[in-house]
């Protein structure tokens, strides 16, 4: 076992849903979360820019002597995971593989839809991960760029969000997919709305719990899990740490320490 912490990062607050699942699944672990709020959002940036920023965040986490880095952002997982794994000396896990695995196990009609940012959709990371596991699967991808700002501005339950979601999801319904991957850590905030539009027969894959279970398994298999102790949480953000603490408090629903401001060497 290892008492070293686990590093987790996202472009902002989206990855906090994953952090929450990790806290629940791994109560003895010390978690360090980095929200790159100075550079949010990653979703519309080029692969080169996302890779550059992800590397800067990962280097910071590596300097904190973490035993594992969890990329709690679909865009960064889709675009930067390969580079991170090549250049870092700690293992790195992303959200794409566990999400694709869960979707492949869930689908009955071999039709899977992926909702994501522009960057995630253009990378085809989910498409490749699904077809590697189940080559006969039809994969329908749909970029939903307004979902992140709607979620961030608290418009998830307003009629405007429903109009926009109906427009984005109309071709997804026509695709006939019985399984839909919420391929962005913000999208669980719009889950109720997406269920209402897609109907209860469609299975939604939310990567947070799936990833947390994959992390747990990885730590056990590599004898890295912390099995005693009360665990802990440390938060960093690259801009506006007070606002970040408030968001984290809301998502995690537990008493948390103040976020520390840490500018990136990017």
Q: Where are the beta strands (DSSP E) in 82-137?
A: 92-94, 111-116
Annotated active-site residue in 57, 70, 184, 214: 184
Smallest separation, CB 35 to a second copy (Å): 13
Task: State yes or no: residue 192 binds a second copy (CB under 8 A).
Answer: no
Region at 242 (left for phi over 0; alpha for psi -120 to 50; beta for the rest):
alpha
Task: State yes or no: residue 24 binds a second copy (CB under 8 A).
Answer: no
The H or E element containing residue 236 is: strand 232-237
Per-residue tokens: 119 = 């960057």
Task: State yes or no: residue 145 binds a second copy (CB under 8 A).
Answer: yes
Smallest separation, CB 182 to a second copy (Å): 19
Distances in whole angstroms, Cα of residue 45 to Cα of each of 41, 160, 186, 198: 8, 26, 17, 29
Rounded to an integer, what distance in angstroms lies between the CA atom of residue 123 and that of residue 131?
14
Site string for a second copy, 229-248 (x = CB under 8 A): ----------xx--------
Smallest separation, CB 80 to a second copy (Å): 14
Per-residue tokens: 8 = 């987790």
Total residues interacting with a second copy, rule: CB under 8 A: 25
Smallest separation, CB 9 to a second copy (Å): 18
Choice between 23 and 45, CB closer to a second copy:
45
Residue 32 CA, distance from chain mean position: 15
Rounded to an integer, what distance in angstroms lies between the CA atom of residue 195 and that of residue 128?
25
- Sheet with 68-71, strands from edge to edge, namely 92-94, 68-71, 6-10, 30-35, 232-237, 260-261
Smallest separation, CB 261 to a second copy (Å): 9
Task: State yes or no: residue 45 binds a second copy (CB under 8 A).
Answer: yes
CA atoms in the 13 A half-sphere facing the CB of 152: 17
The answer to whether 144 is a known catalytic residue is no
Query: Using the rule CB under 8 A, which residue among 3, 109, 167, 171 binds a second copy?
Result: 167
Choice between 118 and 249, CB closer to a second copy:
118
Query: Using the rule CB under 8 A, which residue among 133, 138, 140, 155 binds a second copy?
Result: 155
Choice between 71 and 264, CB closer to a second copy:
264
Facing residues of 114 across strands?
141, 181
Smallest separation, CB 169 to a second copy (Å): 13
Contact between residue 93 and residue 218 where contact means Cβ atoms under 8 Å apart: yes
DSSP secondary structure string, 130-160? HHHH-TT-EEEEEE-TTHHHHHHTT-TTSHH
Choice between 39 and 175, CB closer to a second copy:
39
The answer to whether 184 is a known catalytic residue is yes
Query: Using the rule CB under 8 A, which residue among 3, 24, 27, 48 binds a second copy?
Result: 48
Tell me which residues touch a second copy (CB under 8 A): 38-40, 44-46, 48-49, 145-146, 148-150, 152-153, 155, 158-161, 163-164, 167, 239-240
What is the set of active-site residues? Answer: 73, 184
């Amino acid at each position: 076992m290892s008492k070293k912490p686990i590093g987790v990062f996202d472009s902002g607050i989206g990855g906090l849903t994953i952090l929450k699942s990790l806290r629940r699944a791994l109560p003895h672990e010390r978690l360090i979360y980095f929200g790159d709020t100075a550079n949010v959002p990653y979703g519309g940036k080029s692969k080169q820019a996302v890779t550059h920023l992800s590397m800067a965040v990962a280097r910071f986490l590596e300097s904190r002597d973490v035993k594992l880095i969890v990329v709690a952002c679909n865009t960064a997982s889709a675009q930067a995971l390969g580079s991170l794994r090549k250049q870092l000396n700690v293992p790195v896990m992303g959200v794409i593989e566990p999400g694709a695995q869960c979707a492949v196990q869930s689908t009955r009609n071999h039709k899977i839809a992926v909702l994501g940012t522009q960057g995630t959709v253009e990378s085809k990371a989910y498409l490749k991960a699904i077809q590697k596991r189940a080559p006969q699967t039809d994969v329908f991808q749909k970029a939903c760029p307004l979902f992140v700002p709607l979620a961030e501005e608290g418009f998830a339950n307003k009629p405007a969000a429903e109009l926009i979601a109906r427009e984005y999801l109309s071709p997804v319904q026509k695709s006939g997919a019985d399984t839909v991957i919420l391929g962005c850590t913000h999208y669980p905030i719009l889950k109720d709305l997406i269920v209402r539009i897609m109907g209860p027969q469609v299975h939604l894959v939310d990567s947070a719990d799936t990833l947390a279970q994959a992390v747990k398994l990885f730590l056990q298999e590599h004898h890295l899990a912390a099995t005693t102790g009360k665990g802990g949480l440390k938060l960093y953000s690259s801009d506006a740490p007070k606002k970040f603490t408030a968001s984290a408090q809301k998502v995690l629903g537990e008493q948390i320490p103040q976020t520390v401001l840490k500018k990136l060497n990017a």
